[in-house]
């Protein structure tokens, strides 16, 4: 496989998402025939020793301790943002204005106003051939991509119900320490933006319909947590001995909301509305590690997906015999989205493959001189839903238009 043009990547941040993105940049050209060759050129982080160690571990050629210096470098074509949400707007806008393509992790920003400024910068940059994408990685799950294809092909008919859950349990221990994900000034929100944003994006993307209104409830179960301590990370156990200083949790632990989608053709009933939806996001569902679930019910059939069984899609066709029930589609066939570039039929994929597929789609779009998806405008729509959910919860679950 020969490549004539490199795509020199600079990444900001190197923790959980940084590791996933690094693996994707390394792996994508080894399994997919890309029109540009990704090169892991520079990694940025504030701590010189830590970022140097991370670069060596993750495969980056050089380091910077200031993201501004990364953007100034002439040997950087694309900036990959894997930092907390409070830094997204500043870094992304500066990178786009400097002529760098941008991949930014979700949620796009911590507020609608920030997301609007980022979208405006993305639109201006696109006119100059500089492109941006938001990292809603679950779009690249083969089973969900197949679900979208089936909806577009009319296999479900008119969508009536959207049912979405994202269930984790890693914060169930009340002694798990405060991190940036529990600080609203850094993360924007808790389970709502961290994992609920994925469900919102997936639901809107697969149905092709935006959410137009919500009624919501947010809850914080553990309102104070230890500062520091010996907690070892996701799934670990907190410090329990001695007098441990505790600080306030300023985000939600769980979010639930009902939603109305826009009408689309025959989706509009006598009331003129589209499908109705129910969403739940929590990091307190004991025993659920990463249950990102989505079910769609239409006039001709239903689809159901659970990421804890990510290589499978359940499909019910109402044209079958009434007692046939759901059938399981094992999404590993060569004709299924992305699957043909990996292993033989029946050899499943994992979480890391989503990020590899994300790189593949982004590189193809840049090389094709077209705007990638999901765009910053798509991510702004998700941000508007997040804001409406918070506004509804603050107003005793009163209906809030998006």
Is residue 17 within 8 A of residue 84, CB to CB? The reply is: no
Q: Which domains does the chain have, with CATH numbers?
A: 6-135 (3.40.50.720), 140-349 (3.30.360.10)
Residues of the chain with pLDDT under 50: 1, 3, 229-241, 267-270
pLDDT at 241: 46
Count other Cβ atoms within 10 Å, centred on residue 245.
10
118 contacts 108 by C-beta, under 8 angstroms: yes
DSSP string for 211-233: EEEEEEEEE-S--EEESS-S--S
Query: Would you state the pLDDT for residue 321?
Result: 73
Give the pLDDT of residue 152. 98
Q: Tokens 């603050």 sit at which residue? A: 394
Q: How far apart are CA 241 and CA 239, in angstroms?
A: 6
Residues near 30 by beta carbon (within 8 Å), at least 6 away in sequence: none
Helix or strand (DSSP H, E) at 365? helix 351-367
d(CA 164, CA 256): 10
- If DSSP codes are grouped into helix, strand and coil, which group holds residue 382? helix
Nearest 5°: the CA angle 357, 363, 369 is 135
pTM for the predicted model, two decimal places: 0.93
What's the pLDDT at 242?
54
Report residue 224 as tokens.
């104070």
Q: Give residue 238's pLDDT.
A: 39
Q: How many whole angstroms from its chain centre is CA 288?
A: 18
């Amino acid at each position: 496989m020969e490549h004539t043009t490199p795509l020199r990547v600079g990444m900001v941040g190197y923790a959980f998402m940084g590791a996933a993105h690094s693996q994707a940049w390394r792996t994508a050209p080894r399994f997919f025939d890309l029109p540009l060759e990704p090169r892991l050129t520079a990694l940025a982080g504030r701590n010189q020793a830590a970022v140097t160690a991370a670069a060596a571990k993750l495969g980056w050629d050089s380091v910077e301790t200031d993201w501004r210096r990364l953007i100034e470098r002439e040997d950087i074509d694309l900036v990959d943002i894997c930092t907390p949400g409070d830094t997204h707007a500043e870094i992304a806008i500066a990178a786009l204005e400097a002529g760098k393509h941008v991949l930014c992790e979700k949620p796009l920003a911590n507020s609608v106003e920030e997301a609007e400024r980022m979208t405006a910068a993305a639109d201006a940059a696109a006119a100059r051939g500089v492109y941006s994408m938001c990292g809603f990685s679950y779009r690249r799950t083969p089973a969900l991509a197949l679900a979208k294809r089936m909806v577009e092909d009319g296999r479900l008919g008119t969508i009536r119900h959207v049912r979405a859950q994202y269930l984790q349990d890693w914060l169930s221990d009340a002694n798990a320490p405060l991190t940036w994900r529990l600080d609203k000034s850094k993360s924007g929100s808790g389970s709502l933006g961290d994992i609920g944003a994925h469900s919102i994006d997936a639901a809107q993307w697969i149905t092709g319909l935006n959410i137009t209104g919500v009624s919501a409830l947010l809850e914080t179960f553990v309102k104070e947590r230890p500062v520091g301590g010996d907690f070892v990370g996701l799934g670990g156990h907190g410090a329990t001995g001695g007098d441990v200083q505790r600080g306030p949790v300023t985000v939600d632990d769980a979010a639930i909301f009902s939603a109305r989608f826009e009408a689309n053709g025959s989706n509009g009933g006598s009331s003129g509305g589209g499908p109705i939806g129910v969403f739940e996001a929590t990091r307190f569902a004991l025993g659920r590690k990463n249950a990102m679930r989505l079910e769609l019910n239409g006039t001709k059939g239903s689809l159901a997906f659970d990421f804890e069984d990510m290589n499978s899609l359940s499909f019910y066709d109402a044209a079958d015999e009434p007692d046939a029930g759901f059938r399981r589609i094992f999404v590993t066939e060569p004709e299924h989205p992305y699957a043909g570039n990996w292993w033989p039929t029946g050899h499943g994929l994992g979480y890391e493959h989503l990020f590899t597929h994300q790189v593949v789609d982004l590189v193809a779009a840049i090389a094709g001189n077209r705007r990638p998806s999901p765009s910053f405008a798509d991510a702004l729509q998700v941000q508007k839903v997040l804001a409406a959910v918070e506004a509804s919860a603050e107003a005793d679950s009163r209906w809030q238009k998006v």
